[in-house]
Amino acid sequence: MQIENTVIIGAGPIGIACAISARRAGRDPLLIDAGAVVNSIVNYPIGMNFFTTPELLEVGGHPLVCSGQKPTREEAMMYYRGVVRAEGIRTRTFTKLISCEATTSGLECLMKAESGQFKMVCQHLTLATGYYDNPKMLGVPGEDLPHVSHYFDEPHLGFDRDVVVIGGKNSAVEAALELFRAGARVTLVYRGKEFPPSVKFWVKPDIINRIKAGEIAEKLETEVLRIDASGVAVTGPDGVEEVLKADRVFALTGFLPDTELFRRVGINIEPETGRPEHDDDTLETNVPGVYVAGSIKSGYRTSDIFIENGRFDGDTIFGDASR
Ligand SMILES: Cc1cc2nc3c(=O)[nH]c(=O)nc-3n(C[C@H](O)[C@H](O)[C@H](O)COP(=O)(O)OP(=O)(O)OC[C@H]3O[C@@H](n4cnc5c(N)ncnc54)[C@H](O)[C@@H]3O)c2cc1C
């Protein structure tokens, strides 16, 4: 069985920041991810720009230099893998934590790699697993069809096609605008009466004007009933069923942390908020030796903690060696 002292699960920006703090505190952590390093950023839309300025995405004091005012997805991937390399962090990618049990020899973790399952024992385990692996499902028939995705990838693929975007927050609104500009015939379906205040103030007038101009079709107060190979059946405020033509469907309705994983590690979850039980001063959970970092700390409120304000959690867990 593989034996480690310090293991960090999730090689997102916060997991990397935790690994840096651990190294600076004299540990030699192993950073593990179910996908690639910064796998959530890998799943961002191609060519996307961050809304955050570069200095607020930096970890470990490494400067993030970008060609524009704000980094792109591609520049961020380059930056974070450069940091991992510069810091000499040991990584094990495409390896998923399935569960963990406290035993007399330590925290016994069941892992699943491409080659199969294996066990690993460690003394100190940090979970920085984010939420971007777990889309909020609509729960309608047809959601698993191949032309339906919970991740917006590449607007160009929508050219001269009918595309239905489901959702009304930033991801959905931005995807609808990009698809429209790439030549797609877009219908935006949202169950709310109006776009929520969280839609970025510079994006809102753009979507409202495109709708007013008839360039993007909008279905507000509309629920999705089912999806099939060529259309999305919906019902609007009048209760009448309608089928919207769709060659591609983007269900961009948000994400939730994997609270089942927390349970399989023995962490108590607040049922209302989805918050893992932890001490705010140390980030240690109710399972001794198991810590939480980054966006998972705020449970279902996934927009409370992001890179900007989560990147110092490693200092809380391991101590800030720079102080
Ligand atoms: C489109 C988009 C744009 C955004 N723009 C910004 C921005 O401009 N500024 C900003 O601050 N934030 C932004 N965010 C939010 C930001 O991406 C998240 O807040 C941030 O990624 C959280 O970091 P994290 O390290 O906690 O989690 P993540 O980056 O999600 O990393 C978690 C990692 O854990 C891995 N993982 C999950 N489960 C397991 C498991 N069981 N075993 C092993 N590995 C596992 C995942 O593969 C993933 O790589 C944006 C988010 C999106 C979706």
Closest-CA residue, ligand 1 atom 3, reads: 50
Residue 99's domain is classified under what CATH number?
A: 3.50.50.60
Q: How far apart are CA 40 and CA 131, in angstroms?
A: 9
Q: Output the six-digit token pair for 276.
A: 């893992």
- Whole-number percent of the chain with pLDDT over 90: 96
Q: Count other Cβ atoms within 10 Å, centred on residue 235.
A: 15
Helix axes 73-87, 13-24, angle to 10 degrees: 20
| 15 touches ligand 1 (CB under 6 Å) | yes
Q: Please identify, by atom number, the ligand 1 atom nearest to the C-alpha of residue 255.
A: 53
Choosing from 9, 40, 80, 83 the residue with most ligand 1 atoms within 8 A of its CB, the one to mutate for a pocket test is 40
The DSSP-derived string for 254-291 is -B---HHHHHHHT--B-TTT-PBPB-TTT-BBSSTTEE
Bridge partners (DSSP) listed for residue 290:
125
In a domain, 237, yes or no: yes
Same domain? For 220 and 268 the reply is no
Q: How far does residue 50's CA lie from ligand 1's centre (Å)?
A: 13
Same domain, 49 and 126: yes
Ligand 1, atom 4, residue with closest C-alpha: 50
75 and 222 inside one domain:
no
- The last residue of a domain, from among 251, 284, 302: 251
Pair (236, 265) in one structural domain: no
* Residue that finishes a domain, picked among 192, 218, 251: 251
Same domain, 85 and 176: no
Is residue 17 one of the residues assigned to a domain?
A: yes
Domain that holds residue 91: 2-134+255-318
Burial 80-106 (b: 16+ CB within 10 A, else e): bbebbeebebebbeebbbeebeeeeeb
Question: What is d(CA 165, CA 142) in angstroms, rounded to the nearest whole number?
Answer: 15
How many angstroms separate the alpha carbon of residue 13 from the centre of ligand 1?
7
pLDDT per residue as tens digits for the range 263-310: 999 999 999 999 999 999 999 999 999 999 999 999 999 989 999 999
Query: Does 247 share its domain with 259?
Result: no
Q: Quote the tokens at residue 130.
A: 């984010």
Q: Kindly give the number of the ligand 1 atom that is closest to the alpha carbon of 49.
A: 8
Residue 9 lies in a domain: yes
Alpha-carbon distance 256 to 132, whole Å?
7
Asked if 161 and 127 sit in the same domain, the reply is no
Residue 201 lies in a domain: yes
Q: Left, alpha or beta for 114 (phi > 0: left; psi -120 to 50: alpha)?
A: alpha
In a domain, 44, yes or no: yes
> How confident is the model over 25-72, as pLDDT tens digits?
999 999 999 999 999 999 999 989 999 999 999 999 999 999 999 999
Interval between CA 268 and ligand 1 midpoint (Å): 22
Number of domains in the chain: 2
